[in-house]
Amino acid sequence: MSITDEEAERHREKMRKRKAVQDAEVASKPIVQKGLLIVNTGPGKGKSTAAFGLALRMLGTGGRVGVVQFVKGAWHAGEQDGFAAFGERVQWHSMGEGFTWETQDRARDLAAAARAWEQAKRMLEDPSLDLVVLDELNIALRYEMLDLAEVVATLAGRREGLHVVVTGRNAKPELIEAADCVTEMGATKHHFSAGVRAQKGVEF
Amino acid sequence: MSITDEEAERHREKMRKRKAVQDAEVASKPIVQKGLLIVNTGPGKGKSTAAFGLALRMLGTGGRVGVVQFVKGAWHAGEQDGFAAFGERVQWHSMGEGFTWETQDRARDLAAAARAWEQAKRMLEDPSLDLVVLDELNIALRYEMLDLAEVVATLAGRREGLHVVVTGRNAKPELIEAADCVTEMGATKHHFSAGVRAQKGVEF
The least confident of A99-103, B72-76, B186-190 is B72-76
What does the alpha-carbon distance between residue B77 and residue B81 come to, in Å, rounded to a whole number? 7
Contact A2 B107 (CB under 8 A): yes
Band (pLDDT 50/70/90 cuts) for residue B158 is very high
Stretch B21-45: mean pLDDT: 85
Contact A202 B54 (CB under 8 A): yes
pLDDT tens per residue across span A145-170: 999 999 999 999 999 999 999 999 99
Would you call B184 and A181 a contact, using CB atoms and an 8 Å cutoff?
Answer: no
- Neighboring chain A residues of B87 at a CB cutoff of 8 Å: none
Q: Do B54 and A16 touch (CB under 8 A)?
A: no
Give the residue from A67, A172, A189, A203 with the most B CB atoms within 10 Å of its CB, the best one to mutate.
Answer: A189
Q: Enumerate the domain spans of chain A.
A: 1-30, 31-186
Topology at the third CATH level for domain B33-186: Rossmann fold (3.40.50)
pLDDT at A1 over 70: no
Instruction: Say what the pLDDT of residue A102 is.
Output: 67
pLDDT digits (tens, 9 = 90+) for A8-65: 888 888 888 888 887 887 777 777 788 999 999 999 989 999 999 999 999 999 999 9
- DSSP assignment of B75-125 equals S--HHHHHHGGGGGGEEEEE---S-HHHH--HHHHHHHHHHHHHHHHHHHT
Quick check: B122 pLDDT over 90?
Answer: yes
Share of chain B above pLDDT 70, in %: 94
Let me know: does B58 contact A199? Beta carbons within 8 Å: no
pLDDT number for residue B73: 62
Q: What pLDDT score was predicted for residue B51?
A: 95
Q: Do A16 and B104 count as a contact with CB atoms less than 8 A apart? A: yes
Mean pLDDT of B92-108: 76
What pLDDT, on the 0 to 100 scale, is given for residue A54? 93
In this predicted model, what pLDDT tens digit does every residue of A59-97 receive, in sequence order?
999 999 999 999 876 455 788 888 988 999 999 998 877
Residues shown for chain B: 204
- Report ipTM for this prediction: 0.74
A165/A135 Cα distance (integer angstroms) = 8
Report the distance separating Cα B46 and Cα B18, nearest Å: 31
DSSP A128: T
Among A52, A86, A145, A181, most B C-beta atoms within 10 A, so best to mutate, is A181
Inform me whether the pLDDT recorded for A142 exceeds 90. Answer: yes
A31-186: CATH topology is: Rossmann fold (3.40.50)
Mean pLDDT of A120-131: 97
A103 pLDDT exceeds 80?
no
Choose among A140, A44, A55: nearest CA to B188. A44
Contacts of B200 in chain A (CB under 8 A): 61
Tell me what the pLDDT averaged over chain A comes to.
88
Mean pLDDT of B17-46: 85
Calculate helix-pair angle for B47-60, A47-60, nearest 10 degrees: 80
The partner residue sitting opposite A78, judged by closest CB among B61, B185, B195, is B61
Q: Which of A120-134, B68-82, B175-189 has the highest mean pLDDT?
A: A120-134
Q: Report the pLDDT value the prediction gives residue B98, as an integer from 0 to 100.
A: 66
Element containing residue A181 per DSSP (H, E)? strand A181-189
Residues in chain B with CB shorter than 8 Å from the CB of A183 are 44-46, 185-188
Confidence of residue B99 (pLDDT cuts 50, 70, 90): low
- Distance (Å) from the alpha carbon of B72 to chain A's nearest alpha carbon: 15
Question: CB–CB of A201 and B130 under 8 A?
Answer: yes
Q: How far is CA A142 from CA A17, A41, A171, A189, B3, in A?
A: 46, 12, 7, 25, 17
Contact B58, A201 (CB under 8 A): yes
HEC states along A72-103? CCCCCCHHHHHHHHHHHHEEEEECCCCCHHHH
Please state the length of chain A: 204
